[in-house]
A and B are shown apart, each in its own frame.
Chain A
Amino acid sequence: MRTDDLIANLTSDLKPVRRGGLELLLGAGLVAGAVVTAGMMAMWLGVRPDLHTAMRGFAFWMKAIYTLALTVVGFLLVERAGRPGSRLLPTALLALLALAIIWVIGVMQMMHAPAADKPSLFFGASYTVCPRNILVLSLPILVGVVLAMRRMAPTRPALAGAAAGLLAGSGGASVYGLHCPEASAMFVAVWYSLGIALAGAVGAVSGKLLLRW
């Protein structure tokens, strides 16, 4: 086909593009995945019984703010990764900032704790299952986000997939926070972050495989 004919063809097909449509699509993928994740959690792990009292404490919100902040950063990263020519680095630095803050809080808590309590602040009671649970809970969100991203134009598929994994992992971790009774910032800084990083790695691989166009 001649390029002129192609252009004529594309032009005749033109429909207006709705502003914000891309964010809406991505949001839909995220919410759809999160609903499945929430259902999964309710059936598999259950919500912690003391949720009401916990919500009045610092630890619950420290965790929630950390994972939700990463979710927001993840969303922004995915949106940028799906738009050709966008810079990811400034947004990625926000994720590192969140990580740095939770580490500082964690280290300070550890420093002020009696020596005998330090191991439990670090390992909690569930460090063996926490990263894995977050990874599993992130998968439905990853599916929703990657499906939405296939309509976008990620020019670096593996990196875009990693961003999707970060979003899915943080979303999964936010949901997991409704179950997990751990209250130490150090625990969150290490094990929650590890779970989110695992989701990021799974996302990077799936991006390499699924986000070509």
Chain B
Amino acid sequence: MIAAETQLRALMLASLDGDARAYRRLLDALGTALRIYYRRRLGGADAADEEDLVQDTLIAMHTRRATYDPTQPLTAWVYAIARYKLIDHYRRGKLRRTVPLEDAGAIFANDESAAALARMDLGRMLESLPEDTRGLIRATKIEGHSNVDAGGALGLTETAAKVRVHRGLKALADRFAKGGDHADR
């Protein structure tokens, strides 16, 4: 863009004199430069915002083209306007950074708090069991491994592992199903 300064400035001077063809070429070139400028600054996150800003800036430059001082670099003028529009965009964004009410349903549709609480309770219950049993139940009932694999890791036969899991679950059921105070949490 800096290399293009001379050329763009010549186009601008012709445009100020009313040369529509020069103006067309100027706006095309500036549109491209502005797109790059905004893409870099918005991080390419929102293409619609980007194009809105490009158009906004082109309109601003058009309506206020008399503010260009022909003795000054054109690029300084262009980027000062682009920067102003970018700041303006951020400022507007800050005012709108709340979610419209009609979109709130989608955010709260999947209530994951119950599942999270259940996971926490399960962890606390398992802690009351001996370490080997706890590991077996976690491996077979939660992570879905077979009794053979889970038992093998502890040097147990399939049957022995099965029995250990069964006893562990029974112990849990006895403790929490009757007690009630823990299970209700």
Chain A residues close to B by CB (< 8 Å): 1, 3, 6-8, 10-19, 21-22, 82-86, 151-153, 155, 212-213
On whether the beta carbons of B66 and A17 are closer than 8 Å, the reply is yes
Q: Determine if B72 and A85 form an interchain contact, defined as CB atoms under 8 angstroms apart.
A: yes
Bound complex: CA A207 to CA B36 (Å): 31
- CB–CB A6/B55 < 8 A: yes
| Chain A residues positioned under 8 Å from B20 (CB to CB) | 11-12, 14
Residues of A within 8 A of B28 (CB): 7
Partner of A1, one of B24, B55, B84: B55
A85/B18 in contact, CB under 8 A = no
Closest approach, in angstroms, between the C-beta of B171 and any C-beta of chain A?
Answer: 70
Cβ–Cβ contact A17 & B65, under 8 A: yes
Determine which of A7, A16, A21, A84 lies in contact with B24 in the assembled complex, contact meaning CB atoms within 8 Å.
A7
Which residue of A3, A11, A12, A153 is within 8 Å of B81 (Cβ)? Answer: A153
Does B15 make an interface contact (CB < 8 A)?
yes
Bitwise, B51-85 to A at CB < 8 A (1) or not (0) is 10011001110101111111011001111110110
Task: Say how far B65's CB is from chain A's closest CB, in angstroms.
Answer: 6
Closest 9 CB pairs of A and B: A16-B18, A85-B76, A84-B80, A85-B80, A155-B84, A153-B64, A85-B77, A153-B67, A7-B27
* Most A CB within 10 A of own CB, among B19, B20, B66: B66
> Which B residues lie within 8 Å of A84 (CB)?
67, 76-77, 80-81, 84
Contact residues in A for B33 (Cβ distance below 8 Å): none
Complex CA–CA separation, A10 to B61 (angstroms): 10
- Pull 20 A–B residue pairs with CB atoms less than 8 Å apart, ordered by A: A3-B54, A3-B58, A6-B59, A7-B31, A14-B15, A15-B18, A17-B17, A82-B67, A83-B67, A83-B72, A84-B67, A84-B76, A84-B77, A84-B81, A84-B84, A85-B73, A85-B76, A86-B72, A152-B64, A155-B80
Cβ–Cβ < 8 Å partners of A19 in chain B: 16, 70
Starting from the known contacts A14-B15, A17-B17, A85-B80, 8 additional A-B residue pairs (CB-CB under 8 Å) come to A6-B58, A14-B20, A17-B66, A83-B68, A84-B67, A84-B77, A151-B64, A153-B67
User: Are A83 and B16 in contact, CB atoms less than 8 angstroms apart?
Assistant: no
Min C-beta distance of B93 to chain A, whole Å: 15
Residues in B neighbouring A3, C-beta threshold 8 A: 31, 51, 54-55, 58
B116-129 to A contact mask, C-beta < 8 Å, 1/0: 00000000000000
Query: Which residues of B17-48 have CB atoms within 8 Å of chain A's CB atoms?
Result: 17-20, 23-24, 27-28, 31
| A83 lies within 8 A of B69 (CB) | yes
Rounded to whole angstroms, the CA-CA distance of A10 and B60 in the bound complex is 11
- CB of B38 to closest CB in A, whole Å: 12
User: Which residues of A sit under 8 angstroms from B83, Cβ to Cβ?
Assistant: 155
- Compute how far the CA of A21 lies from the CA of B141 in the bound complex, rounded to whole angstroms: 82
Q: Collect the chain A residues with CB atoms within 8 Å of residue B64's CB.
A: 151-153, 213
Q: Is the CB of B17 within 8 A of A16?
A: yes
Nearest opposing residue in chain A for B79, CB measure: A85
A22 to B70: give the CA distance in the assembly, Å.
Answer: 12
Q: Is the pair A17, B27 in contact by a Cβ cutoff of 8 Å?
A: no
Name the residue on B nearest A157 (C-beta). B84
Complex CA distance for A76 and B139, rounded to whole angstroms: 79
CA distance in complex: A17, B12 (Å): 11
